[in-house]
Amino acid sequence: MGPRPPSRPSPLRLRPRLTFRPNSFTPEESPMTLRIGISARLLHDPPPGLGLPQKRLQFLESSMAHWVMAHRAIALMVPFVDEESAALVDPAPMADMVDLLDGLVLQGGVDVCPETYGATPIQHEWRGDPIRDRYELALLRGFIEAGKPVLGVCRGAQLMNVYFGGTLVQDIPTLWPGAHSHQHPTHYDRLMHAVEFAPGSRLAGLYPSATRHTVTSIHHQCVDRLGNGLVVEARSPEDGIIEAIRHEGPGFVMGVQWHPEFHLTPGETQKHLLDSGPMMQSFLDAARARADRHRARHATGSAHG
């Protein structure tokens, strides 16, 4: 017998995670799949190992996308658009994005630039990212004016406060004597602390079994002066730092200082963290309600046209 031919590698078999489930809805009754935009994180100077020198990268952290997708919505990153080095947002594609999407999630990330809220950086490392500020503020304005829901996470909540005229504490350890640790350089999302929901708040309604819960904490800045029309939804009971805010106007505009998307990771520790499901579901319910109202108005207009 001659030598056996080399064996061919078996094809990669991926365990299916998403399966098609025929539903019992008629086409008229079938619920629309929501399209949720997630603002991009910007990396202006990628490290050499990525092979993209002098190119700006835009990305989203996978846990954020998975949090949206876990509720059967589509997660789409909203790209930042600039004109060469001017770093100006083109209003045309931005408006198209707002029209296309049903809601917006503002990711966490780098500090908000102090100049964005009329302050001066106390230290150079707290100067933030004014380019990302302009991009996300334009997004936030577009969704709010369209009456579409917005959920801000960590930096996203801080930027929401700035949008409504509020200011930020640039560094909690330096400027808030007696505050407990809200950020750890090595623990990252393993640092946790308690938050307490305000009586009668939206969060208290979403989580009626208790007013105090445990959340992740990855921030060294926080709300200072509260923005116009905003109310406090939650605080850190140990030091009084604001942990969640909501706009009192119509629609869903809310921000949380913790990272609910990190509460999804399987593990013994996560069992003690606040369930992030009701919060995302409330956001998506608001998105669907707004989309349904829009479709109903469009259908009525077409019928009379």
Q: 222 and 158 in contact (C-beta within 8 Å)?
A: yes
Residues of the chain with pLDDT under 50: 9-30, 84-87, 184
Q: Exactly one of 136, 196, 243, 261 is catalytic; which is it?
A: 261
Contacts of 290 (CB under 8 A, 6+ apart): 102, 147, 148, 149, 251
**Long-range pairs of 233-237 with CB within 8 A, sequence gap ≥ 24:** 233/197, 233/198, 233/201, 233/202, 233/203, 234/195, 234/196, 234/197, 234/198, 234/201, 234/203, 235/195, 235/196, 235/198, 236/180, 236/182, 236/193, 236/194, 236/195, 236/196, 237/194, 237/195, 237/196, 237/212
pLDDT at 302: 54
pLDDT at 25: 40
Catalytic residue check, 154 = yes
pTM, two decimals, is 0.82
Structure tokens belonging to residue 267: 């593990």
Q: 60 and 41 in contact (C-beta within 8 Å)?
A: yes
- pLDDT 10s digits, 124-175: 777 889 989 999 999 999 999 999 999 999 999 999 999 999 999 998 888 7
pLDDT at 22: 40
Catalytic residue check, 113 = no
Contacts of 92 (CB under 8 A, 6+ apart): none
pLDDT at 232: 98
Q: Exactly one of 213, 247, 259, 263 is catalytic; which is it?
A: 259
pLDDT at 80: 83
Alpha carbons 157 and 107: distance in angstroms, whole number: 9
Catalytic residue check, 261 = yes
Q: Exactly one of 113, 154, 213, 222 is catalytic; which is it?
A: 154
Domains and CATH numbers, the chain: 35-44+52-304 (3.40.50.880)
